[in-house]
Amino acid sequence: MKTIAFFIFSVCVFSYSHYVTFDHYGKDGVFTSKLHVHSQSKGTWNSLIKLTFEHGDYTSDIYIEGSGIDEMAIFRDNGKILNYSDGFYTVNSDLQVLQQAKVINLKEAELYTRLLFASKQKFNYTNKIIYEDRNVFILEIGKKKQIQMFIRQY
C-alpha cells in the first residue's frame, strides 16, 4: 500500500514540476519582435512578430513586407513547446498562411518563399535561448541560427 501511495505522490510531483517548468520557461504573456533587414542581394524587409505563450502552447502572428513582394504577407504559427533542456527549446510548429502576397522579384523574395514552403508542412525545430529575463528573451532560431529579440508587451 505504501508503494502505491508513493507512486501516486511521485506522479503528482512530476506532473506539477512539468507544468511549472513550462509555465516558467514558456513565459506566459505577449511578446513582440521587430526586425528590419536591408541588403543588396535580399532587398529591404520589415517584419513584426507577435508571440503569445500560454502554458507551453504558443501562437505567433508574423507580418512581413519587403521589396520582393507586392504587399504585406501574414502568417500564423500555432505550436507547442515539446521539450526544454539546457537552454534549448524544441517546438512543434504548424505555420499557416493568412494573407498571401504576390512575388514580384523572386531573388529578393527568399524570406517570403521560405515561409510559404514551411506553411506546407508541420515540423519540429530547436531554438536556443541566448538571454532571458522576465521581460526580454533573445533566441537563436532554427538551423539558420537567426537571432531574434522578443520584448514583453503590457
**Three-state SS sequence of the chain:** CHHHHHHHHHHHHHHHHHHHHHHHHCCCEEEEEEEEEEECCCEEEEEEEEEEEECCEEEEEEEEEECCECCCEEEEEEEEEEEEECCEEEEEEEEEEEECCCECCCCCCHHHHHHHHHCCCCEEEEEEEEEECCCEEEEEECCCCEEEEEEECC
pLDDT tens string for the chain (154 positions)?
Answer: 666 655 565 555 555 555 555 445 446 899 999 988 887 777 889 999 999 988 888 999 999 999 899 999 999 999 998 888 888 888 888 999 999 999 998 888 888 988 898 898 888 888 898 998 889 989 888 777 888 999 999 8
Using a pLDDT cut of 70, give the percent of the chain over it. Answer: 82
pLDDT of residue 26: 47
